[in-house]
Amino acid sequence: MSTLYIRLPSKAVAEAVEHWLALPCPYALASGDAVEREGVASLNELAATVAAAQRVVLLLAAADVTLLRVKTPPLSAAKLKLALPNLVEDQLVTDAGECVLAAGDMLDGLRTVAVAQRGWLDILAKTLAGLGARQLVAVPAQLCLGQQAARATAATMEYGGTDIELTLRLDASQGMGLTLAAETGASGAPGEVLAALAALVPAMPLTLYVGQARVAAYHDVLRTAGGVREINVFADNWSLWIPASGKLAPNLLAGMTIHDGAQAQWRQWRWPAGLAAAVLAVNALGLNLDWWRLKHEASTLRTGMVSTYKATYPKETVILDALAQMQKKVAAAEHNAGRAQPDDFGPLAANFDAALNEQMRTQNMTTAAPIASLEYRERALLVRLKPEVQLSAEQMKPALAARNLSLNLANGAWQIRSVQ
């Protein structure tokens, strides 16, 4: 899975410029722990890389995240999340509701809790989601610095030669950050950084990571200052940050409800969605055209039938259903001419007799006169069989259906009708 790591400027640095999205941000695109590409670019310039990466990890400036050590009761993750504001409110200088709290691991009986301003995190999350980030994680930068036993670790990031982000890690669970305003001049930034580190960790051995171009300047300042304190200066590189960024550092965005990039992903789907909409529009147009064609054909047929009916029966003035009225007229004419209709008594009785005899042969019945009564009423036969004839209506229905007859029960009798 491709992961994009971005070291962000602090809120103070971002607010000091007009367009903070143009600030340089060190980044690395990695697969696992192997770095595929790295460099320094603004968030605007990283838009395509952000959208292509499967996961984006934001390393929040250490100055924007406060790490607290809190004793917590044994609670589930969900209950601990609800209890955190009450557990840390005494250590906060602002309302806990304005902060995002993320619990880390337990160490020496205390739990590390990362605290950051909700408003700033919301801006970052929405900005990255707008750039197309799919899965977004935000971790404190101070907990991503490589840790060394009995040594403090620090790293710097300079913006425009005046603002310096200082990240300091003291041990496995403690770290901090400062935003420094450096003096102008070649040695201004190194002098400010080393003075701040001397105040924060006056006696502890220190490893300092700075930009490749700044290593010599820091060495010069250290040689000039002298002293017996052990300070090692090396070039900053992503192998210091990536291993710890996804293992121990708490995710500050896990406690927020943000847009996860689904809206931004709409831009990637706009052409497929547009194509699908076009296909639906073409299909809808085709269906409408087909409906209009069928409607026109139906209207033509209806007009033709009415014209034929009027020509055949010119005295008829009321025409509600030309086809049904024509069928009735033809049936009446055939009846008047002596032609038997399927629902006349003769055809009904003959077809029923044939079906009954066929079914009795199938059932090996030899009753000579199986019918007890036979009536013709309302163009239907009402048949009652003798008690000794053991034929059910369900047995008779297939034979009757083969002769276009239907069978229904009416007052204990079989009602036989033509279905033609």
Q: Which residues pair with 187 in a beta bridge?
A: none
Asked whether residue 305 carries a pLDDT value surpassing 60, the answer given is: yes
Same domain for 221 and 190: yes
In CATH, what number is assigned to the domain containing residue 117? 3.30.420.380
- Claim to verify: residue 17 and residue 129 sit in the same structural domain: yes
Kindly state whether residues 77 and 150 are assigned to the same domain.
no
- Whether 176 and 137 map to the same domain: the answer is no
- The total domain count for the chain is 4
Do residue 287 and residue 354 come from a single domain?
no
pLDDT in the model for residue 255: 59
- Please count the other Cβ atoms lying within 10 Å of the Cβ belonging to residue 240: 17
Mean pLDDT of 22-40: 89
C-beta separation of 319 from 309 below 8 A? yes
Claim to verify: residue 328 and residue 353 sit in the same structural domain = no
| pLDDT tens column, 309-335 | 888 888 888 888 888 888 888 877 777
Distance in angstroms (rounded) separating the CA atoms of residues 159 and 188: 13
| Pairing status of strand 152-159 against strand 163-169 | antiparallel
Note whether 158 and 295 are same-domain residues: no
Whether 13 contacts 179, CB under 8 Å: yes
Q: Which residue has the higher pLDDT, 274 or 185?
A: 274
Long-range contacts of 396-405 (CB under 8 A, 24+ apart): 396/355, 396/356, 396/359, 399/355, 399/356, 399/358, 399/359, 400/351, 400/352, 400/355, 402/355, 403/351, 403/352, 403/354, 403/355, 404/342, 404/351, 405/348, 405/351, 405/352, 405/355
Q: Which two tokens stand for residue 41?
A: 């670019």
Residue 202: CATH number of its domain: 3.30.70
Same domain, 189 and 124: no
Same domain, 54 and 99: yes
Sign of CA dihedral 260, 264, 269, 275: positive
pLDDT of 56-67, one tens digit each? 999 999 999 999
Query: Residue 264: pLDDT above 70?
Result: no
Bridge-partner residues for 206, per DSSP? 152, 231
Q: Which amino acid is at 134?
A: R
> Which ranges in 371-415 belong to alpha helices (H)?
393-401
Mean pLDDT of the chain: 86
Domain boundary among 304, 336, 368: 336
Q: What is the pLDDT of residue 29?
A: 93
User: Does 14 share its domain with 132?
Assistant: yes
Summarised one tens digit per residue, pLDDT across range 371-417 is: 889 999 888 999 998 888 888 889 889 999 999 999 999 888 999 99
> Does 103 lie in the same domain as 9?
yes
**pLDDT at position 185:** 46
**Is pLDDT of 267 > 90?**
no
Q: Do residues 100 and 84 make contact, with C-beta atoms less than 8 angstroms apart?
A: no
- Do 139 and 153 fall into the same domain? no
How do beta strands 136-140 and 175-181 pair?
Answer: unpaired
pLDDT at position 176 is 92
User: Is residue 187 predicted with pLDDT exceeding 80?
Assistant: no
User: Does an H or E element contain 272, and which?
Assistant: helix 270-312
DSSP character for 9?
P
Q: Domain of 374: which CATH number?
A: 3.30.980
* Choice between 88 and 266, residue whose per-residue pLDDT is larger: 88
User: How far apart are the C-alpha atoms of 139 and 253, rounded to whole Å?
Assistant: 8
Render pLDDT for 70-125 as a digit per residue (tens, 0 to 9).
Answer: 888 888 888 888 888 888 888 888 888 888 888 888 888 888 888 999 999 999 99
Q: Which residue, 336, 371, 393, sits at the end of a domain? A: 336
Whole-angstrom Cα distance, residue 148 to residue 169?
9
Which range marks the domain in which residue 68 is found? 1-144+241-262
From residue 400, alpha-carbon distances to 6, 233, 357, 362 in Å are 83, 104, 11, 14
**pLDDT given for residue 406 in this prediction:** 93
